[in-house]
Amino acid sequence: MNLENLKKAEARFLQRYPNGFLDPDMVAIGKKHKMSRMIELSQDLFRRENFARPHAVVNNLVKIISGASMVSMFEKPKFRRFAAALDLLEQELLCRGLEEQLYGDQHQGFEMMLDVLQSRKMAKWTLMSITPAYFRPQDEVFVKPTTAKGIINELELNHLEYQPLPSWAFYSLFRDTINDLKTRVDSGLSPNNAAFTGFLMMSIGTNKMSKRQ
């Protein structure tokens, strides 16, 4: 782990945005992502009692993914078609998998969801990680491939080996690493984990997001 590069990224970000994510420019960027609204919506749609209706849970997944600014515009219609094509058993498995991820055995839930998505060639990191990232924003992580690979390379996280196919082994270790990294910089850089990885993306050269926005 290259903590020197992390501290350099922190310094660059704070030089440009002295108040971190409370800086007016960052607040404006944050509004585009509707993070607070998506967190509130996710926590409402996926209350424990709602999992008694698998079809409704699948529809709610479509709502979250369709409204997620962090998910590619190309993946959204594909997911809608995927959800519409699921049979009753697949809906049940996807529902139970998400319930386990959010309320029970996370590893088991991850594998259940992955099996359904993989069976229809929809096993994407973004689709697997977006809902937990909204539902539990201080703990879970959104895995965007280009960002994850950039963070691993720039911070020399040699214990992490990214693979295109989602896996619980990578997800859990990447999540633990992100939660550790955010304790090593100013707390203003991590109002939630999506914001923290956004800070890294903007500051260590993994993406030109700041220029586009």
pLDDT at 119 over 50: yes
pLDDT score recorded for residue 208: 41
Dihedral pair phi/psi, residue 46, rounded to 5°: -110, 40
Q: How far is CA 108 from CA 56, 115, 168, in A?
A: 21, 11, 9
**How many alpha carbons fall within 13 Å on the CB side of residue 176?**
9
pLDDT at 179 over 80: yes
pLDDT score recorded for residue 205: 60
Place 212 in a pLDDT band, splitting at 50, 70 and 90: very low
Question: Which of 47, 42, 74 lies closest to 61 in space, CA to CA?
Answer: 42
Percent of the chain with pLDDT over 70: 96
Considering the entire predicted model, what is its pTM? 0.90
Q: How far apart are CA 85 and CA 88, in angstroms?
A: 10
Element (H, E) at 107: helix 106-119
pLDDT score recorded for residue 30: 79
Is the Cβ–Cβ distance between 121 and 78 less than 8 Å?
Answer: no
pLDDT score recorded for residue 207: 40
Q: What is the dihedral of CA 112, 115, 116, 119, to 10 degrees?
A: -170
pLDDT score recorded for residue 213: 33
Q: How far apart are CA 86 and CA 120, in angstroms?
A: 9
pLDDT score recorded for residue 29: 81
List, for residues 1-40, the tens digit of each pLDDT value: 899 999 999 999 999 998 888 888 888 887 888 899 999 9
Place 211 in a pLDDT band, splitting at 50, 70 and 90: very low
CA-based R_g, the chain, Å: 17
Q: Which residue shows structure tokens 């709602």?
A: 50
Q: Where are the domains of the chain?
A: 3-32+139-212, 38-124
List, for residues 66-95, the tens digit of each pLDDT value: 999 999 999 999 999 999 999 999 999 999
